[in-house]
Chain A
Amino acid sequence: MWVAYKDLENQMSYLDRRTFRLDRAFYSPKALFDSIERYADLMEVQVSEISKSGCDVMIRVKPEFCSKEQTIKAEFLNYLLGDSILAKDD
């Protein structure tokens, strides 16, 4: 059953997910909150499962922008990654 679920998940685009695991090794908490603030007009983000290793974020794009849902999520994750990398260099 688990294997079947993993196969199905692997055939989906990662942007179809609602919840994303953000590992602290790659994504910084400060960059996460900066990115949430930047994209606050387009989507709602719920941060859960915070641990030393990272956190889970649930993204819900606002209904009026649902036609651009994948692009908004992708832009958000890219902005977050870029910001996290720059934060690491500081």
Chain B
Amino acid sequence: MSAFDEIVKKVGSDEVYFEVAMSVYSISAILKASYVFIDRCYIYLNKESNERVTIYLKAKTLTTEPKSLAGEFMNQLLNQRLQEIVDKETGKIRELLVAQSFSDAQLVASGEKSEKPFGYKGDPLDVGRLQGLGKSDELPGQKNV
């Protein structure tokens, strides 16, 4: 009997259950993984104690092997947990990048002091040059005085 068979218990032909430690997987990771599988199997989550949760999976179709379903579910749990860790590490940077890309204002200090004044006419990011408008200070239909 493999270690996997010891962890995942089979009931009947289409049902499995296994315990997961809440010190490893968060409630959020368990819920998100469950939501990924909710169209493929019937799920019941039972919190046995503050440390352990039993996850019951019953395949919706007879063609699905329940143990492989359990294996995929465990991988999804790990994936969701990893996403949480990555989000914790880089979430603020991502939010800042998204906010910057949708904002006209310079949200992050570049470190170099721009000689051009901030604002529409100043074009400190040289958007006009990137769009092939020639001189960045000169906009179509506008002459510099």
Contacts and interface: CB of A to CB of B under 8 A. Distances in A.
- The interface size bin for chain B is 20 to 34
A74 B42 CA distance: 6
A69 interface: no
Contact of A77 (B27, B30, B43, B47): B43
Nearest to A84: B31
A82 B27 CA distance: 14
Contacts of A75: 42
A75 B58 CA distance: 11
A15 interface: yes
A85 B43 CA distance: 13
Main secondary structure of the interface of A (DSSP, over half): helix
Contacts of B27: 25-26
B12 interface: yes
A47 B30 CA distance: 24
Nearest to A16: B11
Contacts of A21: 46-47
B15 A81 contact: no
B15 A14 contact: yes
B24 to A, nearest CB: 15
A48 interface: no
A20 interface: yes
17 contacts: A11-B11, A12-B11, A13-B12, A14-B11, A14-B44, A23-B47, A26-B27, A26-B31, A26-B45, A27-B45, A77-B43, A81-B34, A81-B38, A81-B43, A84-B31, A85-B31, A85-B34
Interface of B: 9, 11-12, 15, 17, 27, 30-32, 34-35, 38, 42-47, 56, 58
